Amino acid sequence: MDATAVNSITHDLLVTGMLLATPAVVVSLIVGLAIAIMQTLTSIQEQTLTFAPRIVAVGVVLMLTGPWTIRVLSSFTLRMMHHFVEAGR
């Protein structure tokens, strides 16, 4: 396996990881920002108030994106198996 193949595999790994993490991170960011704005407007500074809605929102997003996540992970796994077969030749 040459350096080009290793770079390709590393790039694919990082892109896939970022792609899979993006929905949960974006929803967590949006919900956290909305709660922070509401806390600022109402002068309620309760730290635990931010966690429950974020956890629920991220859980819902993970459930909704579950089938897509499995498809992305399956195709990534198949690509990695193909690279392993090519490396063994």
CA atoms within 13 A on the CB side of 14: 6
| Tokens coding 20 | 């899979």
Continuous H helices in the chain = 3-42, 51-64, 66-88
pLDDT, tens digit only, all 89 positions of the chain? 788 888 999 999 999 999 999 999 999 999 999 999 998 898 888 777 888 999 999 999 999 999 999 999 999 999 999 988 887 77
Instruction: Provide the pLDDT for residue 45.
Output: 80
What domain count does the chain have? 1
The domain of 66 spans 3-88
